[in-house]
Amino acid sequence: MRTPVVIIGGGPSGLLLSQLLHLAGVENVVLERRTRDYVLGRIRAGVLEWGTVEMLRAAGVGARMDREGFVHEGTFLAARNAQFRVDFVQRAGKPVMVYGQTEVTRDLYFARAASGGTVIHEAEGVTPHGLDTSAPWVTYVKNGTEERIDCEFVIGCDGFHGVSRGCIPASVLRETERVYPFGWLGILSETPPVSHELIYANHARGFALCSMRNAHLSRYYLQVPVDAHVENWSDDRFWDELRRRIPHEAAETLVTGPSIEKSIAPLRSYVAEPMRWGRLFLCGDAAHIVPPTGAKGLNLAMSDVHYLSEALIAHYRDGEPGGLDTYSERALARVWKATRFSWWMTTTLHRFDDQGAFGQRIQEAEIDYLASSPAAQAAMAENYVGLPF
């Protein structure tokens, strides 16, 4: 097989890149190690920056999002069990959209199938070759037979544990990481959300977040030690602890019920540089990980897709290679700003074992300042709804 672009990874970033390239007349093939059902079964965050919303619309996959998604014009922050609201539209001129990553992926799969796009699932042993030449190729195994695709560019959208990043020589790759000493215990319950907008709560017992998937499906999180075990957290224990940490008015109206999914996610900040080597380009989690506190993971992947699709389309349509040469620099500038914001949200809202009473009071003072300062709220809102591409 021969195609101009091979995309490794059939998650939302790989599928969106595939769709945008298709709309511009650039042929491509997507290779995904898992089955489609497995990819659609992943439970992921669902807060979309407005730039992501506009990208999905431009890709022709925004109709169901616009019908079923929830536009949030602000969010609540809390400390000492009292909350205040940051108005995104007033402070930053735009809202965010709550729409699950699984639904984004489903819409993209439908669009690629409707367009006759080539998405090869259960592609085992995907291996790029010749990335430092002008004629790379990719091999994989399907149904016990090794296949080969010759191409011009290879795009790694295969996540943190994928094969792509490891193709960059160790002498070239620079990795920066911070691992946080706690995780998020999250549950999904078929209950109405406690709030029409998200609640981020700082508490001396630890962070809590009240989120949602739709009007009848709620997502809640608690900060727990990094070595905590899900089996030690019954539903009753989770709900009791959540009530302690969230604002009093929310605790009084919280509707509880059996969890339909429960898991613990570790938190880390990670950036790999550069995001291009030879004919290989990295997108999304293959190049960077942020803690979920600032809702930046999926959105950063989408901004990578914006820069890379723009560069590839210019290359094939106009013969302009400059965008490909500057892709890594442009993408990383936004990645580091989002990494900073996610770090700030994480360190402001979470309890650290060594912070003591002083550290807790500093966090509370930071949140008090945010509550009273329009300028501080504008800075937070600008970052939360998404910096310009």
Provide the annotated active-site residues: 72, 200, 292, 296, 384
Fill in the DSSP letter of residue 201: E
| Rounded Cα–Cα distance for residues 302 and 308 (Å) | 10
Contact (Cβ atoms closer than 8 angstroms) between residue 276 and residue 328: yes
For residue 335 the two structure tokens come to 């990645």
For residue 267 the two structure tokens come to 């938190």
| Rounded Cα–Cα distance for residues 159 and 157 (Å) | 6
Spell out a b/e string for 259-287, using b for 16 or more CB atoms within 10 Å of the CB, else e. beebebeebebbbbbbbbbbbbbbbbbbb
Residue whose tokens read 């890709």: 59
Contact (Cβ atoms closer than 8 angstroms) between residue 231 and residue 238: no
**Contact partners, residue 171, CB within 8 Å, separation at least 6:** none
**Contact partners, residue 365, CB within 8 Å, separation at least 6:** none
Q: How many CA atoms lie within 13 Å of 252's alpha carbon, on the beta-carbon side?
A: 5
Give Cα 24 distance to the centre of its chain: 25
